[in-house]
Structures are given as structure tokens and as C-alpha cells.
Amino acid sequence: MREWRMAWRNLWRNRKRTLITAAAVAMAVLLSTIMSSMQEGTYSKMIDNVVKFYSGYIQIQHPDYWDTRSLNDSYAPDDSLYETIGQIDGITLHIPRIESFTLISSGEITKGCALIGIDPEGEDRTTNLSNWVDRGEYLKQGDDGILLATNLAKNLNVSTGDTLVLLSQGYHGASAAALVPIKGILDFPSPQMNSFGAYITLEKAGEFYGMDNNITSMVLMLNDYMEVERVKNKLASMLGASYEIMSWDEMQPDLVNMIRGDRAGAIVMKGILYLVVGFGILGTIIMMMSERKKEMGVMVAIGMKKIRMQKMLVFETISVGLLGVLIGFAISLPVILVMVHNPIPLTGELAEAYEMFGIEPNMYFSMMPKVFVNQMITVFVIALVIAAYPIFQIINMNALKAIRN
């Protein structure tokens, strides 16, 4: 297009100004891309740590279990359920659980806590539970022992080898009682988890609660949290109304709200950054219009249509924006790539805060396509908005006055 070629040539009539403007746009793209990459990388790692710590990415439950948390709202997984899980790409692990409440007693001391029946091997592959065994040993298949969180052990004044009394209400109101030896003490990095509960084998939990082959949930792990929505929808369509499919964000609303709040703060910061870039591009266009006012008046006077001049100026505005975007993308791509493979280690109180919640004290980055695409689209939209300025200036331009000035 002829107007585009003319616009490109006009940009380089003042090479220094064009390069300065493009450099400002490129810097904005670079900074916003690094910020977005750091956000997405941190969120991804945080979600990964949280779901691996306990909930999993997705859970398959009885339709009423999440609301009642009752053992009566459990189910017996059949072959068709396992076949369905195996047919869906992206699911890496599936482990059954029995979760309920129990009273734990030692001597005259009694405490209430969550009691979780697990498949020791599958649970360890999912949540790395054995890593948190501070004293004693991890559970094995067929064990009658119990793993107790460290704060519960302190409150009950017990240690490994001691015997605990478990009292609860079992399946369909049956009484549940058992004597279990303490196999190991768990010391989690999170204070909340250290007071959370205890773990026994799935077989022992089924026997204790009188549940036969029933479970309360099937925990699923995926390759990537970005796959959660697709897998959830697929499961829901294949399993129907017989099961409730819960995703990590439905089970962890506090984490979701924290991420949303952090995103909102980042939007404000990036908005300020883009505002500065927008005024930089606008300043360039205003100077360009002022310097070439007489020239444009002459062009209109000798017969050039205003619509063609408007196109040319719009293309100049878009071109300088695109130039900056491409430069910014070319710089940010290798920078982000290096950071993705070399997370920035955190130190001091910030590192301690990360470790307290079981998160590795590193600043992670992401190579998600939207990290780059969103910044490029944003700058392009800014350039389009600014392009309205020369359009209105040409509409209102009086050729004779422009030549005299």
C-alpha cells in the first residue's frame, strides 16, 4: 500500500525521535512482560505446591459430599470410573481417599482432628507425604499404624510407639472405635497443617468407619493446572450427574481470592506503565504534526485528499508502536527464557514466609503465550487510540492557515 510506504519513510526523516519512541515502547513491553511472566510463574508454582500438598487438581466426589462432609455421602468406585479416568489425556495420577473427623485420646487428653485414609504409595507420589515424616516411619500397605501431625502429638503428649484411642461415628451412624500405634510424626512447613490431622491406610480407615469399599473422594493430578478446566468438563460430560467434579479453585477459594487481588494490583502498575508509553507516543505524534503542519497544508492545497493523509499518519502512529513492540518482544523472549530455567532465589524474611507455607523460596517465571501476546496487543491498541489524534487534526485543518503558519 502506497500510504504505508510513505508513512514508513516519513518515520525515518527524524531517525533519532523515532528510535527514542520505539525504545520507550520496547522498554514498556519488556518490563510488563517480565512482570506478567513473574506473576504467572509464581501463581503456577503456588498452585502446584498447594494442590500437591493436599487437595490435588481435581476431586471426584459424591454430589452431596462437599456440602455435608458426611461419610454417608460416599461412593464405591467401580471399573467404569477407572476406565473413564484412564481415557482422558492429561491425568497423571488418581488416588482414593476417605476423609472424616475423629476424636483422638491418650490417657486423659482428647483432641478432635481430621482423619484421612490413604493409599500410602499413591499419596506419596501425589503429595510427597513421606518427606514430612520427622520421627518414626512412613506408612506401608497393610500397616495398622497412624501418622500424626506434630502439634497434635505435642498436645496429646505422645510420640512414636505410643498407642492412641480413636473414637468417631462411622458409616450410616455406626460406632467407630480403634486402638492404633503411632507409626510416625509429621512436621509440615505450614503451622495450619501441623494441627490439621492424622493419616491411616485406606484399608484401616474402611475397617474403622465400616465403609467396606466406599471412599469419599478420588484425587486426580494433572500435567499442568492450565488443563484443569478441560479435564473437569470432560469428566463431567462422561460421568454425568452421578458424581461431583471439584476443581482446585473451588476447593481453595482463599488462594483464588489472593491471586485475584494480586492480579488487580499488577493491572494498576502496568496501567501506569502503559499510560507513560501512551503519552510518549502521543508526544511524538504531536511534535510530528507541528513540524509538518505547513507541509501537510501544501499537500492538501495541491490536491491530496485528506483521507489519504489521514491513512498515512495513522500508519505512522501504528508503525512506531509496532516497531517498539517487535523490539520489546525480541529482547524479552531470551530474557524470560533464561529466567524460566534459572529461578531467582529469595532470601531473608520473604524466603522464610515462602517456606512456612511449603513453597520453594524462589521467584519463578512463565513462558505462557499470553505473557507475550497480551503486552503486544495492549501496545497495539494504545497506538490505535492515539491514531485518532492526527485523524481529527487533519479533518479540522485549514490548508491556507497551515501554509501561512
pTM of the model: 0.72
Q: Which cell numbers hold the place of 251? A: 476447593
Q: Are 291 and 17 in contact (CB under 8 A)?
A: no
Helices (H), 171-252: 191-194, 202-209, 228-239, 248-251
- Give the residue among 294, 288, 295 at the shortest CA–CA distance from 313: 288
Q: What confidence tier does 220 reach under pLDDT thresholds 50, 70, 90?
A: very high
70-90 average pLDDT score: 90
Q: What confidence tier does 399 reach under pLDDT thresholds 50, 70, 90?
A: low
Check pLDDT > 80 for residue 36.
Answer: yes
Q: Rg of the chain over CA atoms, in angstroms?
A: 31
210: left (phi over 0), alpha (psi -120 to 50) or beta: left
Report d(CA 172, CA 170) in Å as an integer.
6
Check pLDDT > 70 for residue 196.
Answer: yes
Whole-angstrom CA distances from 213 to 63, 86, 206 are: 18, 20, 7
Taking CA 341 as the corner, what is the angle to CA 380 and CA 32, rounded to the nearest 5 degrees? Answer: 25
pLDDT at 357: 59
pLDDT at 206: 92
Name the one residue in this structure whose C-alpha cell is 503411632.
182
Q: What confidence tier does 347 reach under pLDDT thresholds 50, 70, 90?
A: confident
Report d(CA 189, CA 253) in Å as an integer.
21
Q: What confidence tier does 215 reach under pLDDT thresholds 50, 70, 90?
A: very high
- The larger pLDDT score, comparing residue 277 to residue 39, is at 39
**pLDDT tens readout for residues 269-326:** 888 878 877 887 788 778 777 777 777 777 777 777 777 777 877 887 888 888 888 8
HSE, side-chain direction, 13 A CA sphere, residue 307: 0
**pLDDT tens readout for residues 139-194:** 998 888 999 999 999 999 999 999 999 999 988 888 899 999 999 999 887 777 77
Give me the chain's average pLDDT, please: 84
Report d(CA 403, CA 405) in Å as an integer.
5
183-209 average pLDDT score: 87
Check pLDDT > 70 for residue 359.
Answer: no
Which residues lie closer than 8 Å to 317 by C-beta, 6 or more apart?
A: 281, 285, 383, 386, 387, 390
Calculate the CA dihedral of residues 181, 184, 190, 191 and round it to 10 degrees. Answer: 50
pLDDT at 186: 92
Q: Read off the amino acid at residue 230.
A: R
pLDDT at 405: 62
215-221 average pLDDT score: 93
As beta bridge partners, residue 195 has none
pLDDT at 334: 92
50-73 average pLDDT score: 88
Winning range, highest mean pLDDT, from 22-31, 128-137, 394-403: 128-137
Report d(CA 221, CA 95) in Å as an integer.
9
Look up residue 361 and give its DSSP letter.
Answer: S
